[in-house]
Amino acid sequence: MDFYKKNPVIKGTIYVQGKEMNDDTVVCGEEFRMFADPATFPNVPVRLVRVDFNALNADQVAQVQGLSKEQAARPPRHLPPIMSEQFSVSSMGELKPIPKVEEKKDVIAEKKAEKLVVSKADKSLTEVFTMAEFINAFPGVTEENAENILAKFKTLRDFANATNVDLRTVGVRSNFFVRLRNAATEALQEYEDEE
């Protein structure tokens, strides 16, 4: 292990890696190595100089031992710090982990899936509309083609996304294609906004 002291050329107290250093302070460890390397800050005197362990007095050895213990107690850099929001404190003062966000997201996704199952947008057209309402709600739907449309398109979402070919095959005239899809899209949007 390498040991470092403040460069005697620099006057006063300096801070290196958050550590206050005066003329008697000694530090050790990889985190201080770059401050003793002249290539780190060219054309500037190095902040730290390397010293031999045998040149340290008893107080400096004690400093180094304290710093070594402090560095050993730190969590590894590859582990993120434990945030207080990851734990809840019980009435007995015990720390209990809070469920991970992914678990909460799964619960939310399940609730959304349940909601979508009962959504009017995904119910069959015959559940949402009576025959008369269906004919009155959409331009181009007549008594003659209504049954074909209901047989071809199961949900309002399918109906709103119908292609020209699909509409032609169920008996809708071409001058109603755009208006019919627009009306279906508006109805779909209304049902989705309600929920």
Report the alpha-carbon distance of residue 45 to residue 37 in Å, rounded.
10
Q: Phi, psi at residue 138, to the nearest 5°?
A: -125, 125
Tokens of 189: 């949007």
Stretch 19-42: mean pLDDT:
84
- Cβ count within 10 A of residue 112: 11
The residue whose two tokens read 């006063």 is 12
DSSP SS3 for 16: strand
DSSP lists the bridge partners of residue 49 as 5
With a CB cutoff of 8 Å and minimum separation 6, the contacts of 157 are: 121, 122, 188
The closest alpha carbon to 30, from 62, 64, 1, belongs to: 1
108-152, pLDDT tens digit by residue? 666 655 554 456 667 788 888 888 888 888 888 888 998 888 888
N- to C-terminal Cα separation, the chain: 66
Length of the chain: 195
Contact assessment for residue 131 and residue 146, using Cβ atoms and an 8 Å cutoff:
yes
Q: What is the pLDDT of residue 26?
A: 86
Q: What is the pLDDT of residue 16?
A: 86
Stretch 182-189: mean pLDDT:
86
54-73, pLDDT tens digit by residue? 888 888 888 878 877 777 77
